[in-house]
Chain A
Amino acid sequence: MRFRGDLNKLEGKTVLMLGNEAVAWGALEGGIGVATAYPGTPSSEIVESLVDAARELGFWSEWAVNEKVAFEIAYSAAISGINALVAMKHVGMNVAADPLMSSAYTGVRGSLVIVTADDPSMWSSQNEQDNRYYGLHAYIPVFEPHSPSEAKELTKYLFDLSRRIGHPVILRMTTRISHTRGPVKLGKINVMEPKGKFIKEDRFVLIPANARRNRLEMLRRWEKIKEEIEHIPFNKVEGEGDALIVAPGIAYAYVKEVVRELGLEGRVRVLKLSSVVPVPRGLLLRALDGVKRVLVVEELEDIVEKEVKAVVAEESLGVEVKGKEIVGYPYELTLARVRKSIQAFLGHVPAEEVSKGGTVTGLPVRPPVLCPGCPYRPLFTEVRRLINQERLSVVAAGDIGCYSLGYNKPYRLQDIIIEMGGSIGTGIGLANFTDDVVISIIGDSTFFHAGLPPLANAVYMKSPLVVIVLDNMVTAMTGHQPSPSTKGVPGRRYIPIEEAAKGLGVRFVKVIDPFDMKEVRKTVLEAIKFARENSEPAVIVARRRCALEVVRDLRRAGVKVPPYIVLEDKCIACRLCYDFFACPAIFAKDDGKAYIDPELCVGCGACAQVCPTKAIVPAEKYDKDKVESFWR
């Protein structure tokens, strides 16, 4: 749902909500004053919703350039007495880890709710790190819901807990909760004005003498947290039996269904846990009372399992504890996996799997592709062509964004993708320690996220590196959130990337249109020459707006753009447009000639340049200048 219109009117209603939206609503009920984030799947909808709500309700919510800055903004609000939320995807917490660790030392005065959206199975991420470890590492308690509805209740509660104990808290979501819809009953909105007062205290100055004192204070708060979680309604013991299944977070949803399905109610005990770091020891001991065997069903790492084993050993309970040896570590849990695990634990023989008729194999896969009209496509096509034609040995250091798709055929222009901003940092090493021509390819939002420090380093080190900033002027992949590279955000200042690069001392800075393939070729060759001859970095800013936004704006403005067509008699079936340019709107017909699907074509016209016989033309005449103005 969109958080627009009179939100107060929704009180008391039950609506279908995404887990992330439920967190946002929980923040509204919990008294939010400041909310910020850097977008990243599967976390983006949380602050997306709060940005909308803030406009309606008068608190503050905005995107920050990266997770570290977002964290610092939320933290500073929280130590000024404001209730704050900061959200990030799991790997974003690595970026924010520095202030995260310190925040537990200083504590907070308002609330600081840190939301991490983990991505088991890596649906849209480079790893499946389990951020519950950050809680253990930083002395910050971690809470995990099993449903959208619980996500809302938990968020609201965490605002209260954080403020009462004066300590940051982590709400851990996962893709399967973030992107699940379920009914949520909406409660009363209770937001606060983003106005705080910073009271000077030694604890906020982490020089060693203060940090040492803070360390003791932090441990005292940790004891309070341990007490608190013994009595919260989000943890509970259900059922009776001499076998116990411990089910933290989403695992509870699966365990409960399997217990019901297999008719185990009343035969096994289930410990539902929503506070996973620390594990409530007293409750665990009560759950273990009279139990002979335990199965811990948890997603990813064995954090709760280790805790249960430790408690069983410390108390000499002699209870057998199973977990990962049955459930396994990698990838997200599924109902089928949990059922199999519970059956194995109980020694049940699973029903033989019946294979059904009509099983089909060999269906073509459908990976995501650059959209029709994507400004990156002509640039990728031309850079690949010049590399091939000039027989250059190039390493393309890649980055995180839509352009990660440049890894795929036919472009193959992302040889390394490890993390946000990694293209420039790894580019420095490659340019200095190998003989290859190194081209770093990074997006505009990613450039501001983590590209500035490595670019300064490249200038300082005089690295012979070519940096291409693909500037579509928005954070496109996660749903078009604004960034400093976005023009026309009300009340916010646009920062041209070329100015930032020049300011850092880059002496070769050129702004080009990625749709102009001749210019792309000329500029990239110049940049390679400059970088090698002068042993210093060259920056190319390839600027053109995201096609999805352009198409949307054209439609809103009522401007009709005709699709392009292939002139049958001129097409020589050379395959360049579909094999080499690879726009999803262009197909090979049976005779090898090209065909453009008018439904998919957005009329960008970029493919016309690729055609050696000028067989690709607009279906009808149109006002090119007017349409072009939307792309800039």
Chain B
Amino acid sequence: MARDEYYLMVAGVGGQGTVLLSRIIGDAALMKGYHVRIGETFGAAMRGGSVHSHIRIGKEVLSPLLLEDEADAVLAIEPLEGLRRAVVYLKPGGVAVINTRKIFPIDVNFGVARYPKIEEIIDAFNKLGATYVYGDFTELAEKAGTARATNVAVLGAYARLIEGTDAPFDKETLIEAVKGRVPSKWLEANLKAFESGYKLADEQLKK
């Protein structure tokens, strides 16, 4: 890593594996010999609320939370949550992976709030100056065997997105970290989801 420190934000909805994904990334950072801090915000420990993890990687990191405009990368397991955090934390020129599969907050079900269109969300990422890939990673995970691997499909796309950058990871390390965290029963599906995510990003970046 060219710089001393590297910061990520993982955002999603309770039950989507946000915390697990941040642990996988944390493990990968440790494997690379870095120090890491993950600040988790899961509030009242209930499902369905917004969840995000602050990940800080470096030689010696102490604070568990990111500053505004500090994140090198935002991984959005859910598009609205990704945008919510990117607006605050993504640095200009940062990278993002956006899963386009929406999960509606309850006010949207009632019809009292409007969920932004995916194009609006993508447009907002453009305005943030982000380099990003997007797609239905939940569908990729389903095809790989389980929708629960959505988080790992997003990670696969991230692995492609950071190739040739100063990010502290590479594809192999991230895969190793997935292997260390995912139960063996679901490993095959997760590795498949990772590759599908990687491929999707590869195709988008080549365009």
Residues of B40-94 at the interface with A, using a CB-CB cut-off of 8 Å, are 40-50, 61-69, 80-81, 83-84, 87, 92
B128 touches A357 (CB 8 A): yes
Inter-chain CA distance A597–B86, complex, in Å, is 27
Inter-chain CA distance A317–B122, complex, in Å, is 59
Inter-chain CA distance A147–B62, complex, in Å, is 7
Interface size for B (C-beta < 8 A) is 58
Looking at the assembled complex, report how far the CB atom of B34 sits from the nearest CB atom of chain A, in whole angstroms. Answer: 9
B147 proximity list for chain A (CB < 8 A): 599
Greatest chain A CB density within 10 A among B84, B115, B126 is at: B84
Looking at the assembled complex, report how far the CB atom of A591 sits from the nearest CB atom of chain B, in whole angstroms. Answer: 12
Greatest chain A CB density within 10 A among B14, B39, B47 is at: B47
Residues of B81-123 at the interface with A, using a CB-CB cut-off of 8 Å, are 81, 83-84, 87, 92, 103-111, 113-116
A578 touches B109 (CB 8 A): yes
Inter-chain CA distance A256–B61, complex, in Å, is 10
Is A334 interfacial (CB 8 A cutoff)? yes
Is A183 interfacial (CB 8 A cutoff)? yes
Inter-chain CA distance A123–B27, complex, in Å, is 26
A253 touches B44 (CB 8 A): no
B48 proximity list for chain A (CB < 8 A): 366, 368-369, 371, 584
Residues of B1-43 at the interface with A, using a CB-CB cut-off of 8 Å, are 13-14, 22-23, 26-27, 30, 35-43
Looking at the assembled complex, report how far the CB atom of A627 sits from the nearest CB atom of chain B, in whole angstroms. Answer: 21
* Pairs across A and B, CB under 8 Å, 24 listed: A14-B30, A16-B30, A16-B38, A124-B45, A146-B62, A147-B62, A180-B39, A180-B40, A254-B62, A254-B63, A257-B63, A336-B68, A356-B92, A357-B128, A357-B129, A358-B126, A364-B107, A364-B114, A366-B81, A367-B106, A368-B49, A371-B48, A579-B110, A600-B103
B63 touches A368 (CB 8 A): no
Q: Closest residue to A18 on the B side, CB-wise? A: B40
A364 touches B105 (CB 8 A): yes
Among A41, A359, A367, A599, point to the contact of B45 (Cβ < 8 A).
Answer: A41
Is B205 interfacial (CB 8 A cutoff)? no
A123 touches B43 (CB 8 A): yes
Is A582 interfacial (CB 8 A cutoff)? yes
Residues in chain A within 8 A of chain B (CB atoms):
14, 16, 18, 41, 44, 123-124, 146-147, 176-177, 179-183, 252-254, 256-257, 334-336, 356-360, 363-369, 371, 402, 405, 409, 477-479, 548, 578-579, 582, 584, 586-588, 599-600
Inter-chain CA distance A586–B109, complex, in Å, is 7
A334 touches B109 (CB 8 A): no
Inter-chain CA distance A478–B129, complex, in Å, is 39
Looking at the assembled complex, report how far the CB atom of A315 sits from the nearest CB atom of chain B, in whole angstroms. Answer: 31
Inter-chain CA distance A491–B21, complex, in Å, is 37
Greatest chain B CB density within 10 A among A364, A402, A477 is at: A364
B63 touches A335 (CB 8 A): yes
A123 proximity list for chain B (CB < 8 A): 41, 43-44
Looking at chain A's contact residues, the main secondary structure is loop
A254 proximity list for chain B (CB < 8 A): 62-63
Q: Closest residue to A16 on the B side, CB-wise? A: B26
Looking at the assembled complex, report how far the CB atom of B58 sits from the nearest CB atom of chain A, in whole angstroms. Answer: 10
Residues of B119-150 at the interface with A, using a CB-CB cut-off of 8 Å, are 124-129, 147
Assuming the A-B contacts A357-B127, A358-B87, A364-B107, are A334 and B49 also in contact, with contact meaning beta carbons closer than 8 angstroms in the complex?
A: no
B104 proximity list for chain A (CB < 8 A): 584, 587
Inter-chain CA distance A368–B61, complex, in Å, is 31
Among B36, B50, B129, point to the contact of A366 (Cβ < 8 A).
Answer: B50
Q: A41-B45, A364-B113, A588-B110 are in contact. List 5 more A-B contacts (CB 8 A).
A: A180-B37, A360-B87, A365-B107, A366-B48, A478-B45
Assuming the A-B contacts A254-B62, A356-B92, A588-B111, are A176 and B30 also in contact, with contact meaning beta carbons closer than 8 angstroms in the complex?
A: no
B62 proximity list for chain A (CB < 8 A): 146-147, 252-254, 256-257
A183 proximity list for chain B (CB < 8 A): 30, 35-36
Q: Closest residue to A548 on the B side, CB-wise? A: B47
B111 proximity list for chain A (CB < 8 A): 578-579, 588
A582 proximity list for chain B (CB < 8 A): 106, 109-110
Among A176, A177, A181, A360, point to the contact of B83 (Cβ < 8 A).
Answer: A360
Residues in chain B within 8 A of chain A (CB atoms):
13-14, 22-23, 26-27, 30, 35-50, 61-69, 80-81, 83-84, 87, 92, 103-111, 113-116, 124-129, 147
B128 touches A356 (CB 8 A): yes
B113 touches A477 (CB 8 A): no
Greatest chain B CB density within 10 A among A336, A478, A548 is at: A336
Inter-chain CA distance A211–B177, complex, in Å, is 57
A588 proximity list for chain B (CB < 8 A): 109-111
A366 touches B69 (CB 8 A): no
Across the A-B interface, give the 6 residue pairs with the lowest CB-CB distance, nearest first. Answer: A358-B127, A368-B49, A364-B113, A253-B62, A181-B38, A180-B64
B37 touches A182 (CB 8 A): yes
B109 touches A179 (CB 8 A): no
B106 touches A584 (CB 8 A): yes
A402 touches B46 (CB 8 A): yes
A368 proximity list for chain B (CB < 8 A): 14, 43-44, 46-49
Inter-chain CA distance A365–B41, complex, in Å, is 15
Looking at the assembled complex, report how far the CB atom of A340 sits from the nearest CB atom of chain B, in whole angstroms. Answer: 11
Q: Closest residue to A182 on the B side, CB-wise? A: B37
B129 proximity list for chain A (CB < 8 A): 356-358
B68 touches A366 (CB 8 A): no
A124 touches B81 (CB 8 A): no
Looking at the assembled complex, report how far the CB atom of A356 sits from the nearest CB atom of chain B, in whole angstroms. Answer: 6
Inter-chain CA distance A254–B81, complex, in Å, is 26
B37 touches A587 (CB 8 A): no
B67 proximity list for chain A (CB < 8 A): 335-336
Inter-chain CA distance A44–B45, complex, in Å, is 10
A479 touches B45 (CB 8 A): yes
Q: Closest residue to A597 on the B side, CB-wise? A: B104
B65 touches A360 (CB 8 A): no
B108 proximity list for chain A (CB < 8 A): 364, 587
A356 proximity list for chain B (CB < 8 A): 69, 92, 128-129
